Amino acid sequence: MANVTFPFPFPEHLIALLPEMVVAVMAMFLLLFDLFIPKERKVLTAWLATATAIVAGVASLQVMGAGTMVAFYGMFVLDPFAVFSKVLICAGTALGIILSIDYMKDEANVGEYYVLMLFAMLGMMLMVSANNFITMYLGLELMALSVYVLVGYQRDTLRSSEAALKYFILGSLSSGMLLYGVTFLYGVSGSFDFKLIGDALADGGGSARAATLLGLVFVVAGLAFKVSMAPFHMWTPDAYEGAPTPITAFMSVAPKVAGFVIFIRILVDALPAVQQEAEMILIWMAVLTMAIGNLAAIAQRNIKRMLAYSTIGHVGFVMLGLIAGTSEGYAGILVYLSIYLFMTMGAFAIIILMRREGIQGELLDDFAGLSRARPGYALAMGLLLFSLAGIPFLGGFWAKYAVFIAAVQAGHVYLVLYALLFSAVGAFYYIRVVKYIYFDEARVAFNFNDSAVMQATVVVMTLVIVMLGLYPDPLMGLCASAVAGLI
């Protein structure tokens, strides 16, 4: 049990939930507190929200202390795997909030925006600790509902509202599919608990095999929606393009972490009996996801849309870790997602900066000539893009390496070959952006005013990516120990 002591009697179960409680209390406090803050000082809310995210991340690390905790009769689990993902989610949220400060300055009611981000984070933290379909669904919906609102936060603009509506309708449908699948599994096993379902289905479902497989299919489909695997990716480009840019950054990182983590938990704990079928479904979905993501990105002129498809492509690569189905594969997924977080946040920070007097700054053309006007940002964006393309000495190379080697070890050589060919295709649209930045002349002046916070974010993200590229060993070690107890 944890080595945390309290001056008053404290229910043991709640200790495991302490980080989540901090977030929940702070989020509700901020909702009230924000009312008393004048509009020009809303930045205070943002910084308090950032602090909350950071405290939650640190608290997750602290609370776990010596070992794994299971609370509420198996509903909630706090193991190294959950803690690692929580730290990632908190980091993603904190960065998302930081990126929002300048972007959302002129919006009305900006306080609730940060509170919603905290609630989304709370949902994801619950999700990655879920050991039970009910807890999982609770977290999932808390996250999803918050993010729907965040996507449509610029409600005066048509595309933001449209994006939110599309996302909401498709997202609800996917939640429905997920629940439908869960009912099958409940019907077969009589439980919502991952481990108990796994035990009950140890014989592959026995006479109820058809129902088990239906459950698998619907659960996979529902989760595939959340992490935008093809063919359930349709909402992604519209939602990414329409959402406020910091939310796009946030969405392309944190929910993906939560989605993949819960995916792994369900596959490992609840559905090991139908692993072969799951693998088959995932292989074909990965084949489709990589192709759609990387090919469709080539056709995009809007960088947010392009990165939406690029996210789909990256999800396809991450899926190789799921398909491998080994602890190396799952560790690879964590490596990938960690590195992806930094690359994406850095890239979006620069995209946010590109919004300058009168232009949205989202078209590839808007990047033309950046290297002359702002060589520092140009270098950072160039490095981040090469990293996204998976070129070494940058972190993105090791992200791909970690999942690919796991997939090769599991025997999926052809799939890795396919993935590598698509990563070469994918390199095209990343280096095309570099072309705009470095080879073209500026058409619009670069008179944007960047705050110190944004500068620092860009610098830190780029440095992290370069450092991880040169010395990825510590991260790989952390990820390996995070998945150690999983299988």
Partner 1 sequence: MDLHNVLDFPILSLSIFLPSLGALFIWLFVRGDDAVRWSALAVSVATFLVTLPLALQFDTTTAHMQFEEFHRWIPAFNINYQLGVDGISMPFILLTSLLTVICIISAWECIRTRVKEYMLAFLVLETTLIGVFSALDAVLFYFFWEAMLIPMYLIIGVWGGKNRVYATIKFFLYTLAGSVLMLVALLAMYFKAGHTFSMLDFMDYPFDFTWQFWIWIAFFIAFAVKVPMWPVHTWLPDAHTEAPTAGSVILAGILLKMGAYGFLRFSLPMLPDASQYFVPFVVALSLIAIIYISLVAMMQQDMKRLIAYSSIAHMGFVTLGTFMFTQPAVEGAIIGMISHGFVAAALFLCVGVMYDRLHTREIADYGGVVNVMPVFAAVMMVFCMANVALPGASAFIGEIMVLIGTFDASSVAQAQLGMVSSKWIAIGAATSVVLSACYTLWMYKRVIMGDLTKDTVKGMPDMNMREFGYFVPLIMLVVWLGLYPLPVLDVMHESVAHLIAQATTSKLDAAAALAQHMPVQQLAVH
Q: Which residues bind partner 1 (CB under 8 A)?
A: 371, 375, 382, 386, 391-393, 397, 401, 404-405, 408-409, 411-414, 416-417, 420-421, 423-424, 427-428, 431-432, 434-435, 438-439, 471-473, 476-477, 480
Q: How far is the CB of 316 from partner 1 (least distance, A)?
A: 15
Residue 215 or residue 369: which is nearer to partner 1 going by CB?
A: 369
Residue 179 or residue 420: which is nearer to partner 1 going by CB?
A: 420
- Whether residue 254 contacts residue 93, with contact meaning beta carbons closer than 8 Å, is answered with yes
Q: How far is the CB of 298 from partner 1 (least distance, A)?
A: 12
Q: How far is the CB of 367 from partner 1 (least distance, A)?
A: 14
Q: How far is the CB of 429 from partner 1 (least distance, A)?
A: 11
Q: How far is the CB of 329 from partner 1 (least distance, A)?
A: 13
Residue 151 or residue 389: which is nearer to partner 1 going by CB?
A: 389
Q: How far is the CB of 416 from partner 1 (least distance, A)?
A: 6
Q: How far is the CB of 408 from partner 1 (least distance, A)?
A: 4
Residue 63 or residue 416: which is nearer to partner 1 going by CB?
A: 416
In total, the chain counts a number of residues equal to 487
Residue 378 or residue 461: which is nearer to partner 1 going by CB?
A: 378
Residue 29 or residue 414: which is nearer to partner 1 going by CB?
A: 414
Query: What tokens were used for 106?
Result: 């002129």
Query: What tokens were used for 34?
Result: 């924000």
Instruction: Say how far apart CA 275 and CA 133 lie, in whole Å.
Output: 18
- Whether residue 252 contacts residue 311, with contact meaning beta carbons closer than 8 Å, is answered with yes
Single out the residue of 141, 96, 14 nearest to residue 342, CA to CA: 96
Residue 211 or residue 405: which is nearer to partner 1 going by CB?
A: 405
Q: How far is the CB of 81 from partner 1 (least distance, A)?
A: 17
Q: How far is the CB of 435 from partner 1 (least distance, A)?
A: 6
Residue 60 or residue 300: which is nearer to partner 1 going by CB?
A: 300
Q: How far is the CB of 386 from partner 1 (least distance, A)?
A: 6
**Amino acid at the residue 460:** V
Residue 268 or residue 434: which is nearer to partner 1 going by CB?
A: 434
Residue 76 or residue 367: which is nearer to partner 1 going by CB?
A: 367
